[in-house]
Amino acid sequence: MTHPDIVNVLVEYLNETNPVAKELGVIPRDQPLHEVGILDSYGVIEMVAFIEERFSIRILDSEITEERFGGLNKMASLIEEKLAG
């Protein structure tokens, strides 16, 4: 799965489950999602659970940082790393 494919899966998830994301229409790819009001602390937990289930990977608590998990492109990069093993 390519980086853009992963980003598209994440965007699709957010548009289906998050009213703020749906209302925005275009979700920024490089801006932290909490800054634009899409994810709060509970939303992050839900997002991690979705990613772990969808991609069959494990996201460690230490990886849930703005540097590693702040925006869609960062999330996709982390997922790519995990999938590559």
40-73 pLDDT per residue, tens: 999 999 999 999 999 999 999 999 999 999 999 9
Per-residue pLDDT at 25: 85
Q: Which domain holds residue 37?
A: 3-84
* pTM of the shown model: 0.94
Cα dihedral sign for 79, 81, 82, 85?
Answer: positive
Per-residue pLDDT at 85: 86
pLDDT at 76 over 90: yes
Q: How far is CA 68 from the centre of its chain?
A: 10
Nearest Cα to Cα of residue 47 among 5, 20, 11, 4: 11
CATH number at residue 71: 1.10.1200.10
Q: Where are the alpha helices (DSSP H) in 1-85?
A: 3-17, 19-24, 41-55, 66-69, 72-84
